[in-house]
Amino acid sequence: MRLSSFYFSYYAVLGAFTPYWSLYLQARGMDVAAISVLMSLWYATRVVAPSTWTTLAARSPRPIRWLHLGCWLTLAGFTAFLLPLGFAGLFVAMCVFCFAYNAVMPQFEAITMSHLGARSDRYGLLRVWGSIGFILVVAGFGVAIDRFGVTLLPLMMLPLLVGMLASSYANTYARLPDEPPASPHDGFRARMRRPEVIAFFAAAFLMQLSFGPYYTFFSIYLTEHGYTAAALGMFWTVGVAAEIGVFFLASRMFRRWDAGKVMSFALLVAALRWWVTGLYPDNAALMVLAQLTHAINFGAFFAAVMALLVRFFPGRMNGHGQGVFYGLSSGVGGVLGALLAGQLWRFGGETAFMASAGFSLLGAVVAWYWLVRLPRPGHASGG
């Protein structure tokens, strides 16, 4: 339960931030351009924070201290939002908070994988607690915001961040087995140059790029079409609720289908999701169905990503692989997705989500060709 508790608290914070932060910024007087810039910082910090933190932790004789430090900085940085800040102040506060918050999860994923060892297929059973924390907060905060207003959001989030800090002190790395020195061919840089690894990161980047309009403006998009904050929380909740089932079934899923196939299918389903979201925002039933596909294009996709990272970057290289994934996909892909969403939003939400569908479809083609069609037995094993 120690590992599960950190996932629960970490994603509980995300459950408050992702659906409602753009509404909070809007309530603070920020326009669409300012919101897209501020939200892009959430992803921009992921470009450098994960790789920086995992590298520092790997070089430290007490790497767990970096997890504690990251959680302390996250809490300290977030308290700035309690102040009456303008755009410049919000910009600085977002930089500090987002850098620290985004730094800790790649390190914690490496901690989890060190405990799982060869049983990486059981990852979903731990990660599912993050989805549960996300759901509880999204649903509860939606009702609270309808009643008390979104301006109280930072005060409501503080206890969640305290819980994340407390959980970080309950966890540490498992002892990694001694490994023989890696040959130049098996080194990290050599693995990064493999075609299947390049394709993996490219597909992950395109998936994150496609989520740009969703993470940045989906809540505003729904309110423009007449949905309340409580309904908005429901839309976010149903997707993550379906995602929970996927995490519970992840070990069975990977015994039947290769992670590369799961990744390419998840990208294809994401393209369908964005197409429906862009064209039918006023149809609540279709929107619920589109949200339910979050189980595939996030839950199954993310579980496949973790399985492929273990395959491509085994043992002590996994932390570095996690850092590159978070930095390139969630970082570069996220910031470009948020900024591009801000530009496309001038032409309407439909245009932005149609572009998202195109990015996902391209990612599906890349994943299918290089991770499914080309690999032969033993070729994609990473060994």
Query: What CATH number does residue 196 fall under?
Result: 1.20.1250.20
- Does residue 177 lie in a domain region? no
pLDDT tens per residue across span 248-267: 787 788 888 999 999 999 99
Quick one: tokens of 257?
Answer: 């289908």
* Residue whose pair of structure tokens reads 């429901």 in the numeric block: 234
Confidence of residue 184 (pLDDT cuts 50, 70, 90): very low
Answer yes or no: is pLDDT of 175 > 70: no
pLDDT value of residue 21: 92
- Does residue 211 lie in a domain region? yes
The parent domain of residue 22 ranges over: 2-169+188-373
Confidence of residue 182 (pLDDT cuts 50, 70, 90): very low
pTM for the whole thing? 0.75
- Does residue 246 lie in a domain region? yes
- Cα separation, 369 vs 265, in Å, equals 12
- Does residue 382 lie in a domain region? no
Which is it for the CA torsion 8, 113, 325, 171, positive or negative?
Answer: positive
Q: 39 and 215 in contact (C-beta within 8 Å)?
A: yes
253: left (phi over 0), alpha (psi -120 to 50) or beta: alpha
Q: What is the DSSP string of 215-282?
A: HHHHHHHHHHTT--HHHHHHHHHHHHHHHHHHHHHHHHHHHHS-HHHHHHHHHHHHHHHHHHHHH-TT
Quick one: tokens of 227?
Answer: 């949905």
pLDDT, mean of residues 53-67: 83
pLDDT tens per residue across span 318-350: 777 888 888 888 778 888 888 899 899 889 999
- Does residue 204 lie in a domain region? yes
Cα 373 to the center of its chain, rounded Å: 27
- Does residue 174 lie in a domain region? no
- Cα separation, 38 vs 95, in Å, equals 9
Domain count, the chain: 1
pLDDT, mean of residues 41-66: 83
pLDDT value of residue 380: 44
